[in-house]
Each structure stands twice: as structure tokens, then as C-alpha cells.
């Protein structure tokens, strides 16, 4: 299964963040959101991935993008991971049913029990406007991809 394509209605979800708050797709209406799918809290590559996105978070927000990290870890693990890294990106728990949102967005690896590294941009109308899936688990989708997608959106 491939990552969800642009032009598709974003699949509905309600996930719990690191502070126990529910975040639903409907909460993203009216803004440009980027779902940052990553494998697991505390893995070395995921740590690097979230640090990369945190470094440019202010610039992304200035350009109108709100980021949300999503992995199959629990909200409690997300809180510990967020505190450990010092990141402010909301981390959403795709915990139960495990990987349900990752499956809906086409990025779940069944045999591994976690998602691929992927970025999914959702427009204000809750339609997928852009997506990217890393070619290998070691590839960190750089923030430049998000900046480029935002630029393409503005040019369209």
C-alpha cells in the first residue's frame, strides 16, 4: 500500500496527544496541517527526525503550517519522549487500534508493527494536498520537503 495521494479526502481520525487531549481531523479544518508519521519514540532516527522538524517549527508556522507527529506509541510514551527531546510538536498516539490512522493513510508496515516515515499535508478543506514517503527507514524526510510543498501550494 502506498502513501495517500493528493486530492484525496483526509481520512477521519481522533487521537490522544501527549497531554491526554483528543485531536480530531475536524480540529484541523481551516489550517494547513502536516502529519509527520514516524516509527517509534526513542529510536535514534526518529529522535533525529523530530529534532530536525523542531529546529524549523517556527519558520513552518510562519508559513502557515501546523505539524503533528504520529506514531504507534502511547500518549504516556509520547509525553516522556517530548520531555526528553524538548520538542513542542504535538505527538499523537496511534495506539489503539494500533496503527489505525497509519493504515488509513497508507503508511503502516504490518510485519513491523509501526508506520513508515511519511509526511502528509492536509489543506484547510481537509483534503490531502501533498504527501511524501521515505524510501527507506533510515531516510529522514527533511523539512525542505515541507517548505517546497508549501511553496507549490502558494504558487498553485
Position 116 pLDDT exceeds 70: yes
CA angle 94, 63, 50 (to 5 degrees): 35
Which residue do the cell numbers 513552518 mark? 60
Centroid of chain to Cα 139: 15
Name the 3-class secondary structure at 129: strand
Sorted by where each begins, the domain ranges of the chain are: 14-155
Name the 3-class secondary structure at 87: coil
Closest CA to 68 of 51, 87, 89, 88: 89
pLDDT digit string, tens, across residues 24-77: 999 999 999 999 999 999 998 988 999 999 999 999 999 999 999 999 999 999
Comparing 91-95, 135-139, 148-152, the range with the smallest average pLDDT is: 135-139
Q: Say how many residues make up the chain.
A: 156
CA angle 124, 38, 147 (to 5 degrees): 45
pLDDT at residue 1, as a whole number: 66
At 16, the pLDDT band (50, 70, 90 cuts) reads very high
Over residues 85-102, mean pLDDT: 96
Average pLDDT of every residue of the chain: 95
Over residues 115-139, mean pLDDT: 95
pLDDT at residue 129, as a whole number: 97
Query: What positions carry a catalytic annotation?
Result: 46
Report residue 129: phi and psi, to 5°: -105, -15
pLDDT digit string, tens, across residues 1-12: 699 999 999 999
CB-CB contact of 124 with 31 (8 Å): yes
Over residues 113-139, mean pLDDT: 95
**E strands within 5-156?**
14-17, 22-24, 32-37, 65-71, 91-93, 108-109, 114-115, 118-122, 128-133
The pTM of the full predicted model, rounded to 2 decimals, is 0.96
Query: Into which CATH architecture does domain 14-155 fall?
Result: 3-Layer(aba) Sandwich (3.40)
Amino acid at each position: 500500500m502506498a502513501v495517500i495521494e493528493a486530492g484525496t479526502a483526509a481520512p477521519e481520525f481522533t487521537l490522544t496527544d501527549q497531554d491526554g487531549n483528543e485531536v480530531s481531523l475536524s480540529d484541523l479544518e481551516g489550517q494547513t496541517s502536516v502529519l509527520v508519521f514516524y516509527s517509534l519514540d526513542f529510536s535514534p532516527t526518529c529522535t533525529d527526525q523530530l529534532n530536525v522538524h523542531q529546529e524549523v517549527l517556527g519558520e513552518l508556522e510562519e508559513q502557515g503550517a501546523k505539524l503533528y507527529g504520529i506514531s504507534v506509541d502511547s500518549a504516556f510514551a509520547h509525553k516522556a519522549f517530548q520531555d526528553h527531546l524538548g520538542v513542542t510538536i504535538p505527538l499523537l498516539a496511534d495506539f489503539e487500534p494500533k496503527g489505525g490512522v497509519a493504515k488509513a493513510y497508507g503508511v503502516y508496515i504490518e510485519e513491523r508493527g509501526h508506520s513508515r516515515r511519511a509526511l502528509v499535508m492536509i489543506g484547510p478543506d481537509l483534503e490531502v494536498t501533498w504527501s511524501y514517503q521515505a524510501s527507506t527507514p533510515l531516510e529522514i524526510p527533511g523539512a525542505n520537503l515541507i517548505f517546497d510543498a508549501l511553496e507549490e501550494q502558494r504558487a498553485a
